[in-house]
């Protein structure tokens, strides 16, 4: 299939691109390299450099499937030309795009930061994604694989969290993902969109084949920060809160390896194409680890001490997020196979050491 991966040079996107190419698909990447890294771009993919918020570029790309057409492949778009507003699609005429499916990874993802900069998150995560959906609809591209999040659930009312758990986000980031999930459900009903809402729990790890080695810059997530301390590029880290109602007082998360996320995405896309039904799935292992357990495992794997201070809670952090992950197995035959904590930390240490 001919696939557009927006944000295909980013941390998760780059892993998905490798998986799609391995599975024999034709891949075009649209990335503005705001956080993506050139060294992580799979050479088998066609690269279009530009910003998804450049609506003219998006329209041309989706209208032509140009990434695999020659056309403007590898063209440089002016990523500063951000178009404001939301592009409507209802009255526009339709053309036939050549992409069979669109994957979207070009979003902001730091739950803590979203509480300080909600305007930034609404623009990048809500407005840009609705513009994308409208552009897809205008060009009759119906299949969409969307990175949603466990953050849409908020504080668990019960554990493990299944897909029917109420969605009441407690950080603005989670809200941005929920708005898009709800919009996709409406567009499915009203416009024939076929979507997979993949609710990631905590993505971590690096390609087990060692093909992706560019490290995320200025990370806000636990594991890359732990790795930077182990590697000596960061002197010390903070543990945000030790008074949560958990076994050691620190937050529990369900960490999922990016290679496992990648296989799930390919299966989800194939499901949309073959079953013609929408999908909403948790992507997780069902196992939770505390912040201190993660630090301990990283000390063991790296053989280095990880200097940390216990500080106050970070706003917007639920105490525990652990998934019921069986639905993904039942519908798309997927379950995690690289995600036990040791394997996950080892795959990261191979990059950071």
Residues involved in catalysis: 173
Token pair recorded at residue 251: 């937050």
Q: Which residues, 88 to 117, sit near ligand UFG by CB under 6 A?
A: 109-111
DSSP 323: B
Task: Give 293 or 340: the residue with its C-beta nearer to ligand UFG.
Answer: 293
Min dist. Cβ of residue 74 to ligand UFG (A): 30
Does 351 engage in binding with ligand UFG (CB under 6 A)? no
Among 137, 229, 251, 266, binds ligand UFG (CB under 6 A): 251
Task: Give 59 or 297: the residue with its C-beta nearer to ligand UFG.
Answer: 297
Q: Which residues, 20 to 79, sit near ligand UFG by CB under 6 A?
A: none
DSSP 67: G
Token pair recorded at residue 122: 């609404």
* 148 to 187: interface string for ligand UFG, x by CB under 6 A: -xxx------------------------------------
Q: Which residues, 264 to 323, sit near ligand UFG by CB under 6 A?
A: 291, 314, 317, 321
Partners of 145 in the β-ladder: 103, 196
Q: Which residues, 223 to 242, sit near ligand UFG by CB under 6 A?
A: 225, 237-240
Separation CA 59–CA 261 (nearest Å) = 28
10 Å CB burial of residue 269 (0-12, 13-18, 19+) is buried
Task: Give 48 or 322: the residue with its C-beta nearer to ligand UFG.
Answer: 322
Task: Give 95 or 238: the residue with its C-beta nearer to ligand UFG.
Answer: 238
Residue for token pair 């905590």: 202
Q: Measuring CA to CA, which residue among 191, 174, 200 is closest to residue 280?
A: 200
Min dist. Cβ of residue 119 to ligand UFG (A): 18
Min dist. Cβ of residue 113 to ligand UFG (A): 9
Separation CA 60–CA 55 (nearest Å) = 8
Residue for token pair 């209208």: 63
Min dist. Cβ of residue 192 to ligand UFG (A): 28
Window of 3-11, 70-78, 94-102, 221-229 that interacts with ligand UFG by CB under 6 A: 221-229
Separation CA 252–CA 84 (nearest Å) = 39
Count of residues interacting with ligand UFG (CB under 6 A): 22
DSSP 122: I
Token pair recorded at residue 345: 């930390």
Type and span of the H or E element at 223? helix 222-231
Closest CB to ligand UFG belongs to which residue? 251
Min dist. Cβ of residue 4 to ligand UFG (A): 22
Q: List the helix and strand counts (H, then E) for the chain.
A: 11, 14
Separation CA 18–CA 15 (nearest Å) = 5
Q: Which residues bind ligand UFG (CB under 6 A)?
A: 109-111, 149-151, 201-202, 220-222, 225, 237-240, 251, 253, 291, 314, 317, 321
């Amino acid at each position: 299939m001919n696939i557009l991966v927006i944000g295909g040079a980013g941390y998760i996107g780059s892993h998905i691109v490798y998986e799609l190419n391995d599975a024999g698909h034709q891949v075009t990447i649209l990335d503005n390299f705001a956080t993506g890294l050139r060294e992580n771009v799979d050479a088998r993919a066609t690269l279009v450099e530009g910003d998804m918020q450049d609506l003219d570029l998006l329209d041309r790309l989706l209208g032509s499937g140009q990434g695999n057409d020659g056309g403007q492949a590898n063209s440089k778009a002016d990523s500063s030309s951000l178009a404001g507003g939301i592009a409507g699609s209802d009255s526009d005429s339709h053309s036939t795009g050549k992409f069979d499916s669109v994957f979207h990874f070009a979003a902001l993802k730091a739950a803590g930061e979203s509480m300080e900069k909600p305007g930034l998150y609404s623009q990048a995560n809500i407005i840009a994604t609705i513009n994308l959906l409208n552009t897809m609809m205008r060009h009759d591209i119906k299949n969409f694989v969307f990175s949603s999040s466990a953050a849409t659930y908020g504080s668990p009312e019960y554990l493990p969290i299944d897909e029917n758990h109420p969605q009441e986000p407690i950080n603005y980031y989670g809200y941005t993902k929920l708005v898009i999930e709800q919009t996709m459900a409406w567009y499915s009903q009203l416009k024939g969109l076929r979507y997979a809402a993949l609710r990631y729990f905590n993505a971590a790890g690096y390609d087990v084949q060692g093909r992706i080695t560019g490290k995320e810059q200025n990370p806000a997530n636990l594991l890359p920060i732990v790795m930077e301390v182990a590697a000596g590029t960061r002197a010390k880290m903070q543990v945000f809160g030790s008074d949560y109602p958990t076994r050691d007082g620190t937050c529990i998360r369900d960490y999922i390896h990016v290679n496992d996320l990648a296989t799930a995405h390919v299966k989800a896309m194939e499901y949309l194409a073959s079953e013609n039904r929408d999908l909403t799935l948790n992507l997780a292992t069902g196992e939770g680890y505390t912040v201190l357990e993660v630090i301990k495992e990283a000390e063991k794997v790296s053989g280095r001490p990880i200097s940390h201070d216990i500080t106050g809670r970070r706003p917007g952090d639920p105490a525990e997020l652990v998934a019921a992950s069986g639905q993904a197995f039942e519908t798309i035959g997927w379950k995690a196979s690289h995600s036990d904590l040791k394997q996950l930390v080892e795959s990261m240490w191979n990059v950071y050491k």
